[in-house]
Amino acid sequence: TPTARNGLKAALNYVGGALMYVRRNYADRLRILSDSWAVANRRTDCKKADRTKDGTDESVPSGSDLKGRSRRDVTKGTSHAQDRNIAVPTSFPEMFKFNATVMGFGEDFWMDEVLLAMESLVRNVANANRLREECDVLSLRLSKYRGPFDLSDFKAVMLASLRSLVPKGWSSDHEVAWTWLWQN
């Protein structure tokens, strides 16, 4: 009948529109998550750009560029004026631990469990069933910890770490994508 045909047509149009919306919005979020995760863990070509053909590191100046500093001092990040051995975090786990300590969460050992699970959570965000499995495993691992813990603390440290590691490309879209991952 014409009424049934119009009803089916309206339902299919609604489903088609919903699928296009999901594809457009969530595909961008998934791309942002995977790209920024790769940058945060230095899995992009940023390290290759610093290497020459002979395998030496161009980011470390040659002897003539040092002006009173030894090559060893430059590789350690020290200078004559300041003799510090400060290692700058360059990967997400390192930056996360640094930020957690600075923000006062260094003693929260449950954060280490979530940090260990982040790789598999981000890698499987597009596969809802696998993501649910990873979340279930994480919840079982967290259940062994006694005392209160607030997952929003992890979110704050996670976002601060990602902002630090992806400074050039970070935008409000990144903020939305990572918050979306955390809330789901």
pLDDT digits (tens, 9 = 90+) for 136-158: 999 999 888 887 888 889 999 99
Spatial separation of the C-alpha atoms in residues 163 and 51, rounded to whole Å: 25
Q: Is 47 helix (H, G, I), strand (E, B) or coil?
A: helix
pTM of the model: 0.66
Measured CA distances, 99 to 152, 155, 163 (Å): 14, 12, 11
pLDDT of residue 43: 65
Q: CB count, 10 Å around CB of 164? A: 16
The average pLDDT across 159-175 equals 90
Q: What angle do CA 141, 146, 150 make, to 5 degrees?
A: 80
Q: Is 53 helix (H, G, I), strand (E, B) or coil?
A: coil
